[in-house]
């Protein structure tokens, strides 16, 4: 279980804080495909390369790849570190906690079965390896790490279980200490049961923030960005089902269809949104989607579109395109009008733009 025992002796031990506090997540983990979206045993690597970002996630056959549910432990770690730092306490990559502290924070049960599942999640996080170019200043440089360098069960003087110790990698630890790379997330996130629901919330939270104008991503780009093993048609079906259910806390989703048939997921904040960036001193087995045999079209879906203008790509404050295709210089909004899925289903007509096409204004 211990991969590098000497590392433990070189780090100060940080004891987990008691009590309830804000949940924080690292933006890098929210933006890219680092985790399996299914609870099924996955050993096929995730390979992602867009622009200057390259990611390869590998798993071992014994444990399988770390899942997006296992990532809840990393959210707990990030929340602990930020809370301790903002309270003036000394933090460390070496942390000590009880399983009860972790499980209650991430909304899990505390039965013996839950404790065994926690240990299995720690094993997957420790055995999953990541190689990435993210935050590597030198061109061609890569950083390779596991989500947990090592973990061990603690015992008291009598030999009885007394919690666990774990060491997180430096790549993750440095991201958590950087205010610009940390976002608060709604604690209702832990109630999301679908892997795709969870992944989409983190992506929407990272890219959408509090922008009143909303945000859009092309379906095919989302498929690539998710690292999902599902074929595109199944993935698109599950996205439409999420739009129908509206499960993401703080955000409203809609389907937009351009004149040439390109499908986009649009979203904007609604209700009580969580805080944005977190500066110092801030207070305060379910497969994703529907069953494989259920391919019935979803019901009515509301559209967030306030008008019939097709907006341009997300280039105003996001260097990453919302399209799987390259973005030409001087990109302009598409010609045509968005088709609300609600209108489409009500009229029961083939998917096509409504009304007379006109050029969108910039």
Per-residue pLDDT of the chain (362 residues; tens, 9 = 90+): 444 555 666 788 999 998 888 999 999 999 999 999 999 999 999 999 988 899 999 999 999 999 999 999 999 999 999 999 999 999 999 999 999 999 999 999 999 999 999 999 999 999 999 999 998 877 778 999 999 999 999 888 777 778 999 999 999 999 999 988 999 999 999 999 999 999 999 999 998 765 666 788 999 999 999 999 999 999 999 999 999 999 999 999 999 998 888 999 999 888 755 654 444 343 333 333 333 333 334 444 444 444 444 455 554 434 454 555 433 333 333 333 333 333 333 333 332 222 333 333 33
- Helix, strand, or coil (residue 19): coil
Question: What's the Cα-to-Cα distance from 276 to each of 26, 206, 218, rounded to whole Å?
Answer: 12, 9, 24
Distance from first CA to last CA of the chain, Å, rounded? 57
Those residues with Cβ within 8 angstroms of residue 191's Cβ, 6 or more apart along the chain or in another chain: 107
User: What is the reported pTM?
Assistant: 0.77
At residue 8, the pLDDT reads 66
CB atoms < 10 A from the CB of 10, how many? 9
pLDDT, position 51: 84
Q: Are 331 and 312 in contact (CB under 8 A)?
A: yes
* Predicted pLDDT of residue 6: 56
Quick one: pLDDT at residue 319? 47
């Amino acid at each position: 279980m211990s991969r590098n025992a000497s590392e433990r002796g070189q780090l100060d031990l940080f004891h987990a804080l008691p009590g309830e506090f804000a949940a924080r997540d690292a933006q890098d983990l929210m933006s890219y495909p680092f985790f399996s979206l299914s609870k099924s045993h996955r050993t096929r690597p995730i390979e992602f390369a867009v622009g200057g970002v390259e990611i390869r996630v590998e798993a071992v056959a014994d444990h399988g790849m770390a899942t997006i549910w296992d990532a809840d432990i990393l959210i707990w770690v990030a929340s602990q570190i930020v809370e301790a730092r903002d309270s003036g306490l000394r933090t460390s990559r070496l942390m000590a906690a009880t399983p009860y502290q972790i499980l209650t924070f991430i909304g899990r049960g505390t039965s013996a079965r839950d404790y065994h599942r926690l240990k299995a999640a720690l094993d997957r996080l420790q055995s999953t390896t990541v190689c990435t170019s993210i935050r590597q200043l030198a061109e061609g440089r890569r950083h390779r790490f596991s989500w947990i360098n090592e973990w061990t069960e603690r015992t008291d003087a009598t030999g009885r279980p007394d919690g666990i110790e774990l060491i997180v990698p430096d790549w993750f630890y440095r991201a958590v200490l950087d205010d610009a790379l940390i976002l608060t997330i709604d604690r209702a996130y832990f109630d999301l049961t679908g892997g795709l629901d969870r992944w989409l919330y983190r992506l929407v939270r990272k890219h959408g923030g509090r922008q009143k104008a909303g945000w859009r991503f092309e379906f095919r780009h989302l498929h690539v960005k998710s690292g999902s093993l599902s074929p595109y048609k199944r993935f698109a079906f599950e996205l439409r089902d999420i739009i129908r259910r509206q499960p993401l806390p703080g955000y409203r989703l809609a389907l937009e269809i351009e004149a040439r048939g390109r499908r986009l997921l649009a979203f904007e904040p609604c209700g009580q949104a969580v805080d944005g960036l977190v500066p110092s001193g801030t207070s305060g087995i379910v497969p994703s989607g529907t069953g494989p045999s259920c391919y019935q079209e979803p019901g009515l879906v509301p559209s967030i579109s306030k008008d019939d203008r097709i907006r341009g790509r997300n280039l105003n404050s996001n260097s990453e395109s919302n399209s799987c295709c390259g973005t030409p210089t001087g990109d302009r909004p598409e010609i045509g009008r968005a088709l609300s899925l609600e209108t489409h289903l009500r009229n029961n007509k083939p998917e096509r733009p409504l009304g007379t096409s006109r050029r969108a204004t910039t």
